[in-house]
C-alpha cells in the first residue's frame, strides 16, 4: 500500500470520487436556498455577520439574487440594499455601541473583491481600535490614507483630520 508523503494517512491506491460544483449554490458562498446566519433581511437582501470580521459586529449586506458587481444592481436593489444598511446600523448601535462606521464595497479583483457576489461591508469602528484612523477607507492604499487638503476658509493646509468649524 502506497501513502502520500505529505498526508501519510491517505492511501494513494484508494479511488476517490471528485465532486465538481453543479449549481451556483456550490460555487458561491453567499448563494443557498436558505443562507445561514441571517440576522436581518428584506425582500431582496439579507445581512449576516462576516466570518472574517475586521471589527466586532462587522456585517455583510448581501443580495439574495446572485450578482457579481455593485454596479449591476437594479435601482430597486440599490434602494433595498441601503434600507438594510440603515437597519443594520440601528442593530449594531443597539448591540455594540460603536463610535463610528466604515461602509464599503469591493468591486473587481483590483479593488480586493474575493467573492464574486456583491456584498456591502458595514464595519463598526471604536475609539482606539486604530492609532490614527484619519483617512478612513482611503487606507485601502496605506500611503494615501493621511493627506493634506487646502482649507478654503483660511487658504492654509489642513491635515485631513475632522475639525469643528
Q: Which residues are catalytic?
A: 119
Distances (CA, A) of 17 to 40, 55, 115: 38, 40, 26
SS3 149: strand
Q: Of 109, 114, 113, 40, give the one whose Cα is nearest residue 81.
A: 40
Q: Of 119, 121, 100, give the one whose Cα is nearest residue 54.
A: 121
Residue holding cell 491517505? 10
Question: Cα–Cα distance between 125 and 104 in angstroms, integer?
Answer: 13
Amino acid at each position: 500500500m502506497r501513502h502520500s508523503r505529505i498526508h501519510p494517512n491517505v492511501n494513494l491506491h484508494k479511488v476517490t470520487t471528485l465532486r465538481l460544483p453543479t449549481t451556483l449554490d456550490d460555487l458561491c458562498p453567499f448563494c443557498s436556498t436558505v443562507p445561514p446566519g441571517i440576522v436581518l433581511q428584506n425582500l431582496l437582501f439579507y445581512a449576516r455577520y462576516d466570518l472574517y470580521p475586521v471589527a466586532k459586529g462587522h456585517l455583510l449586506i448581501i443580495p439574495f439574487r446572485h450578482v457579481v458587481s455593485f454596479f449591476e444592481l437594479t435601482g430597486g436593489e440599490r434602494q433595498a440594499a441601503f434600507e438594510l444598511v440603515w437597519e443594520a446600523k440601528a442593530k449594531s448601535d443597539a448591540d455594540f455601541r460603536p463610535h463610528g462606521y466604515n461602509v464599503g464595497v469591493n468591486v473587481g479583483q483590483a479593488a480586493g473583491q474575493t467573492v464574486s457576489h456583491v456584498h456591502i461591508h458595514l464595519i463598526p469602528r471604536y475609539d482606539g481600535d486604530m492609532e490614527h484612523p484619519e483617512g478612513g477607507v482611503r487606507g485601502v492604499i496605506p500611503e494615501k490614507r493621511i493627506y493634506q487638503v487646502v482649507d478654503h476658509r483660511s487658504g492654509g493646509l489642513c491635515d485631513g483630520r475632522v475639525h469643528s468649524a
